[in-house]
């Protein structure tokens, strides 16, 4: 019995095309095939994060009691490198649901 804790189960689709870029490349264990038990890694859609830097004025009067006072920004912003793939999906495994009654 495979340990599928933490994975989403997806029904196996015999007609689905094989997406080799998203699966383990382990031919020895047969995980690359479009078969029951194949595993698809999780992925996050390609994205980046931008941020702008600024400076904090010393709080004055009422602002000193309630919140910090930020003013201005430096002339340029920065970006964190792009990360991720073509889609967002959880770790999942192909299974064949058999219902006996």
Residue 39 sits in the same domain as residue 9: yes
Expressed as residue numbers, the domain containing 29 is 1-44+89-101
Predicted pLDDT of residue 45: 74
35-41 long-range contacts, CB within 8 A, separation 24+: 35/94, 36/12, 36/94, 36/95, 36/96, 37/2, 37/93, 37/94, 37/95, 38/93, 38/94, 39/7, 39/91, 39/92, 39/93, 39/94, 40/10, 40/89, 40/91, 40/92, 40/93, 40/94, 41/91
Residue 39 sits in the same domain as residue 20: yes
What is the token pair recorded at 71?
């003013």
Residue 77 sits in the same domain as residue 64: yes
Residue 40 sits in the same domain as residue 77: no
Predicted pLDDT of residue 27: 45
Q: What is the pTM of this model?
A: 0.43
Residue 40 sits in the same domain as residue 4: yes
Residue 75 sits in the same domain as residue 99: no
- Number of domain units in the chain: 2
Residue 3 sits in the same domain as residue 29: yes
Predicted pLDDT of residue 92: 78
pLDDT tens digits, one per residue of 46-87: 777 666 655 555 555 555 544 555 555 444 455 566 667 777
Predicted pLDDT of residue 61: 54
């Amino acid at each position: 019995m495979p340990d599928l804790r933490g994975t989403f189960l997806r029904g196996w689709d015999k007609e689905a095309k094989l997406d080799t870029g998203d699966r383990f490349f382990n031919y020895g264990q047969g995980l690359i095939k479009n078969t029951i038990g194949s595993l698809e890694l999780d992925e996050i859609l390609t994205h980046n994060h931008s941020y702008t830097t600024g400076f904090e004025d010393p709080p004055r009067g009422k602002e000193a009691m309630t919140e910090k006072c930020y003013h201005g920004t430096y002339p340029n912003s920065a970006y964190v490198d792009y990360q991720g793939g073509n889609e967002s999906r959880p770790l999942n495994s192909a299974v064949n649901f058999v219902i006996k009654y």
